A and B are shown apart, each in its own frame.
Chain A
Amino acid sequence: MSGYVEGVIILVCINVIAVLGVSILTGFTRLFSFGNAGFMAIGAYASAILTTKYGAPFPVALVVGPIIAAIVALGLGKLTLKLKGDYFLITTLGFGESVRLLFLFAEPITGGARGLSGIPPKTTMFIAVGITMLAFLGAWNFLRSKYGRNLMAIREQEIAAEAVGINTAKFKEYSFMISAAYAGMAGALLAHYYMFISPIMFNLPKSAELTITVVIGGLGSLSGSVLATILLTVLPEIFRSAAEYRMLLYGLAVVIIIVLKPSGLMGYREFSLRPIFTLYERIFKKNNPTQTKGDGK
């Protein structure tokens, strides 16, 4: 496989991991964040500083980066999650930019605007794909447990969620922390793929891109998020010349989606082969009743 294709696959993986986190936060909890690039930055810098300045092994950096991001999210969440939706969004936006500026000004540690270089190239395709699969599986299972269901309850009807005994504040914190941990993991992998990071890589457009990807994929569909990430990462690579218009195209895509299909590519559904089978059954087995229900009670 050519190095170029490998590189694109690694980039897709990194973006998928970050988007999965936003998908849990926005698609399943209905909390909008425009600061998740900030958590990517925290994961990237924390892990890179560990491996370059302290000689820590890569796996340690991969664990510590996301954990630090999650701890920061817990602190920020405690302060801001009680605010109403729009205000929470604004604070995440402010947070993302503050983190970027912090890394910009902490020059002795981060290299400031010149960036941090000399990071060991540890993110191989094998590692990126492996971690992405684990991240997807973890998110998938999480969403099909009481944790995911509680988040969806908050998304659907917060008052009813409280009324059935769900500590909505706590579960919003969980959602925020997980999204931060995923972003942190993406950042750590990114740092050890590019071997160089600078604050500008984690700016507001990056945060916006993550959230937009989730919206395009369909709020409430994990596989939709993955599909959208692949499309939005690969297409600009194919149409290199149009890469400058990336944000414009994203904006256009969002407008088109909101007008034509507000639920995104996948709506609340997950990608599966089931509809194809159903279609097949409908066409070829028209005369057979598909299924008879149990005892009819």
Chain B
Amino acid sequence: MPILTITNLHKHFGGVKAINDFSITLEKGKIYGLIGPNGAGKTTIFNTITGIYEPTMGEIFLNGKSVIKKAPYEISNMGIARTFQNIRLFGNLSVLDNVIIACHADAKYGIFEAMTKFGRFKKNEEEIKEKCIKLLQIVGLEEMRDDTAGALPYGHQRKLEIARALATNPSLLLLDEPAAGMNEKESEELVRFIQNIHENFDLTILLIEHHMDFVMSLCDEIAVLNFGSTIAMGTPDEVKRNPAVIEAYLGGEDDA
């Protein structure tokens, strides 16, 4: 069974058809790319999958269960985690706390145990902290765990968002332009990093990216979007050779 199925999705903002009949099926364990010019509707697709927007029309199923009309937190608890194009960290909190917050579901204690530190509280908190430190080690931010998240350099903030997403134990990870603002070397590193977490966390990944090399070297399959509709779908090689893609994408890059 596919992990995510989107069928005939539409999202209109007044007259703007941000998503116009978009369909995709994600097989478990693969890495998918979603590319397209600026304003093609990529982020809007993420926002509809994660419940921030309710689609105008269409269906979205995660493991056979519809996510339509569910609150974003419910969809997160169903196993979808994401990062944001314009980073949304808990800016005034520490790096470690940013990740710990995402482990709230691992904290099984009640409100009175929390206020009195009785019962499961201490042990439970220890376990969570351990898990989060491991996650920070994986993304390479362990050294900075006490720093204020909002003060981190841009690239580190992106990695922290990924660590925070992983802390929710997702089965599907959505990354919105993870390599944005990175130079060539950094984005090559990021490719290896994403391959790493893909393997170690048993993930299916759907990512939006403008860096072509990045998408081509990382993704099993790529969907190309323009004006809210899919114009091509296939392996990196197939997509690269598709004339419609070349035209739409280069057209998009011009005004980027």
Contacts and interface: CB of A to CB of B under 8 A. Distances in A.
Interface of A: 137-139, 141-142, 145-150, 152-153, 156-157, 159-168, 174, 220, 268, 293, 296-297
B90 A157 contact: yes
Nearest to B164: A164
B111 A165 contact: no
Interface in B127-150: 137, 142-143
B90 A162 contact: no
B123 interface: no
A157 B104 contact: no
A259 B89 CA distance: 27
A129 B103 CA distance: 36
Given A141-B115, A146-B107, A163-B72, A156 B92 contact: yes
A297 B137 contact: yes
A164 B71 contact: no
B247 to A, nearest CB: 35
A204 to B, nearest CB: 30
Interface in B159-179: 164-165, 167-168
A157 B71 contact: no
B114 A149 contact: no
Contact of A159 (B52, B97, B165): B52
B77 interface: yes
Contact of A293 (B51, B72, B143): B143
Contacts of B167: 164
Interface stretch (B8-16, B17-25, B80-88, B186-194): B80-88
B235 interface: no
Nearest to B167: A164
A165 B104 CA distance: 8
Contacts of B117: 141
25 contacts: A139-B115, A141-B116, A142-B111, A142-B115, A145-B121, A145-B125, A146-B107, A147-B114, A148-B114, A149-B97, A149-B101, A149-B104, A150-B101, A152-B97, A156-B91, A159-B52, A159-B72, A162-B52, A163-B81, A163-B84, A163-B88, A164-B76, A164-B168, A165-B76, A166-B101
B43 interface: no
Contact of B168 (A139, A165, A174): A165
B81 A164 contact: yes
B90 A156 contact: yes
Contacts of A293: 143
B50 interface: yes
A145 B84 CA distance: 26
Interface in B65-83: 71-73, 76-77, 81-82
Contacts of B164: 160, 164
Contacts of B72: 159, 162-163
A145 B109 contact: yes
A162 B109 CA distance: 20
8 closest Cβ contacts across the A-B interface?
Answer: A145-B114, A165-B76, A156-B90, A146-B107, A162-B72, A164-B102, A160-B88, A138-B115
Nearest to A147: B114
A153 B168 contact: no
Contacts of B91: 156-157
A152 B90 contact: yes
B182 interface: no
B136 to A, nearest CB: 10
Contacts of B97: 149, 152
